[in-house]
Amino acid sequence: MQGRWHNESVNRTYRQYCGLSRALDLLGARWALLVVRDLLTGPKRFTELQDGLPGIPTNVLTARLRELEEVGVVERRAHPRPAGGVVYDLTDYGRELEQPLLALGFWGAKTLGPPEEDEYFSADALALALRGSFRPREARGPARLYRLLIDETSLRVVVKNGEVTVPANSDRDPDVTLETSAGAFSELFAGTLDVDKATSNGRLRVVGEPSEARRFFAMFRTPS
C-alpha cells in the first residue's frame, strides 16, 4: 500500500530518492499530520476528528483520510457494537509515527509562546505530549488517577507501576484533580512556573493532596 499513489497524488511528489522527501510525499498535505496526531490517541469517528480539528473543511478531512488510507497509514474498520458505525484508526505503519511526531512537536513548542485567545487547546495534543514527556524515574509511589481540567478541556491520566496511560478510560473518581489555564499549564509543564507558587496565587487549583501536584509536574516535564 505504501508505494501506491492515485493520479492526483503523483503530481505532489518531490521525485527525490530520499526518506524525508518520501515522508513529505505521504504526509506533507495540509492537516495530514494533525489527523495522524489525533488518531495516535485512539480510533475516532469522522465527526470526532472534525470536533478535534476546528476549522478543517469537511471535504479536506475526507480527502486527507482517503489519501492516508491509500498509502497505508490509516484504515477504516467497524466500531464494536452496540455503538456500531465506522471509525478511522492508524495501521501499524501509521503508529510508527508517534516518536517522530513527538520530537517534531517538542521542537516546535520551543517557540510556541503563550496561547492566543483564538487558539484551540487540543486534548489529543496534550495526551500525546504527556506520553512523550513522561519520566518513569519520577513515578515512584502509589498508583494515581489524575484528572486535568485545563480551561474547558478535561483529560484523565493514570500512573501505575512506573507506566502512564493517557487518555485513560476510567469512570471512577479521580485521586487528584488539577485545574488551571492553558497558559499556566504550559509554564508548569515547562518548569518555568513553580507548582507551590501557582497554587498559592490561584493559577493552579488542586483537589487532593498538594504533594500530588508536585509529583505530577515532576513526572511530566517538557524536554529541554
pLDDT at residue number 84: 73
Average pLDDT, integer, range 30-49 = 97
pLDDT of residue 209: 95
Residues of the chain with CATH 3.30.1050.10: 123-219
Count CB neighbours of 143 within 10 A. Answer: 11
Per cent of the chain over pLDDT 90 is 83
Q: How far apart are CA 146 and CA 133, in angstroms?
A: 16
Is pLDDT of 1 > 70?
Answer: no
pLDDT at 11: 53
Q: Is 21 exposed, middle or buried (0-12, 13-18, 19+ CB in 10 A)?
A: middle
pLDDT at residue 83 is higher than 90: no
| Radius of gyration of the CA atoms of the chain, in A | 19
- Whether pLDDT at 9 is above 80: no
Mean pLDDT along residues 170-184: 95
Each residue's pLDDT tens digit, 99-117: 999 999 999 999 988 888 8
> Residue 41 pLDDT more than 70?
yes
pLDDT attached to residue 117: 86
**Looking at the chain, which residues constitute the CATH 1.10.10.10 domain(s)?**
7-96
Cβ neighbour number for residue 207 with a 10 Å cutoff: 14
- Residue 100: half-sphere exposure toward Cβ, Cα within 13 Å: 12
Architecture of the domain delimited by 7-96: Orthogonal Bundle (1.10)
Q: How much is the pTM?
A: 0.90
Predicted pLDDT of residue 52: 95
Confidence of residue 195 (pLDDT cuts 50, 70, 90): very high
Residue 191: φ, ψ to 5°: 85, 10
162-197 per-residue burial string, b: 16 or more CB within 10 A, e: under 16: eebebbbeeeeebbbbbbbbbbbbbbbbbeebebee
The conformation of residue 201, written as its DSSP 8-state character, comes to: T
pLDDT at 5: 42
Mean pLDDT of all residues in the chain?
92
Summarised one tens digit per residue, pLDDT across range 128-140 is 999 999 999 999 9
- Fold assignment, 123-219: Nonspecific Lipid-transfer Protein; Chain A (3.30.1050)
Report CA-CA distances (Å) from 114 to 21, 118, 123, 178, 190.
32, 12, 17, 19, 12
Return the bridge partners of 87, or none. Answer: 77
Query: Residue 208: is it exposed, middle or buried by C-beta count within 10 angstroms (0-12/13-18/19+)?
Result: middle
Per cent of the chain over pLDDT 70 is 95
**How many CB atoms lie under 10 A from the CB of residue 84?**
8
173 CB-near residues (< 8 Å, 6+ apart): none
Q: pLDDT band for position 173 (50/70/90)?
A: very high
| Closest by CA position to 37, among listed 88, 81, 78 | 88
